[in-house]
Amino acid sequence: MSQGTLVKRQFGHHARLALSPAQVSKTDDQAHAARAMWNLLHAWWQMMPKEVRTLANADAAIRQAREDIDFLAVLPAQAAQAVLKTYFQAWKNCWDGRADAPNFKGRFRTVMPVDIPQGRDLNVTRVHRRWGMVSIPKVGRVRFRWTKDLPVGKRADAENRITGARLVKDALGWHIAFRVQALETTPAPHRGPEVGIDVGVTVPLALSDGETYEHGDWLTGKEQARLLHLEQRAAQRKRHRRPGERTSRRLHHTYDRIAGLRAKAKRRALDWQHQTTTAIARRYGTVVVEALTITNMVKSAKGTIEEPGRNVAQKSGLNRSIHAEAWGRTVTMLTYKTARHGGTLVKVPVPGTSRRCSACGFTVPGSRESQAVFVCKNPDCGWSGNADHNAARNVLHLYRMGLALIPAAGRAVVRRAKRVKPATAR
Question: DSSP E strands: which ranges in 344-396?
Answer: 344-348, 373-375, 384-386
Task: Give the pLDDT mean for 198-224.
Answer: 89
Q: Where are the alpha helices (DSSP H) in 108-153?
A: none
Coil vs helix vs strand at 297: helix
Q: How far apart are CA 338 and CA 344, in angstroms?
A: 6
Predicted pLDDT of residue 278? 94
Instruction: Please say whether the beta carbons of 119 and 131 come within 8 A.
Output: no
Checking if the pLDDT of 414 tops 50, the result is no
Checking if the pLDDT of 409 tops 50, the result is no
Task: Give the pLDDT mean for 119-141.
Answer: 90
Checking if the pLDDT of 421 tops 50, the result is no
Instruction: Please say whether the beta carbons of 289 and 197 come within 8 A.
Output: yes
Q: What is the pLDDT of residues 105-115, one digit of tens each?
A: 887 777 789 99
In the beta sheet, which residues pair with residue 131? 145
Q: How far apart are CA 347 and CA 339, in angstroms?
A: 14
Residues sharing a CB contact under 8 Å with residue 65, sequence separation 6 or more, in sequence order: 37, 40, 72
Checking if the pLDDT of 161 tops 50, the result is yes
Which residue type occupies 160?
Answer: N
Q: Compute CA distances 33 → 11, 69, 195, whole Å.
A: 28, 10, 50
Pairing of β 114-116 and β 125-126: unpaired
User: Within 10 A of 229 (CB to CB), how many other CB atoms are there?
Assistant: 12
Q: What are phi and psi of 185, to 5 degrees?
A: -85, 145
Q: How far apart are CA 333 and CA 327, in angstroms?
A: 10
DSSP code for 316: H
Which residue type occupies 26?
Answer: K
> What average pLDDT does the chain have?
84
Task: Give the pLDDT mean for 166-173.
Answer: 90
Which residue type occupies 78?
Answer: Q
Residue 368, exposed/middle/buried by CB under 10 A (0-12, 13-18, 19+)? Answer: buried
Coil vs helix vs strand at 159: coil
Predicted pLDDT of residue 307? 67
Q: How far apart are CA 362 and CA 356, in angstroms?
A: 6
The H or E element containing residue 25 is: helix 21-47
Predicted pLDDT of residue 296? 75
Predicted pLDDT of residue 139? 92
Which residue type occupies 396?
Answer: L
Checking if the pLDDT of 404 tops 80, the result is no
Higher pLDDT, 113 or 5: 113
Q: How far apart are CA 162 and CA 138, in angstroms?
A: 20
Question: Could you tell me the pLDDT band of residue 36, with boundaries at 50, 70 and 90?
Answer: very high
Checking if the pLDDT of 319 tops 90, the result is no
Q: What is the pLDDT of residues 173-204, one digit of tens each?
A: 899 999 999 888 888 888 889 999 988 888 88
Coil vs helix vs strand at 380: coil
Q: How far apart are CA 359 and CA 81, in angstroms?
A: 61
User: Within 10 A of 187 (CB to CB), how many other CB atoms are there?
Assistant: 13
Half-sphere exposure of residue 271, counting CA atoms within 13 Å on the CB side?
A: 9
The fraction of the chain above a pLDDT of 90, given in percent, is 36
The H or E element containing residue 174 is: strand 173-185
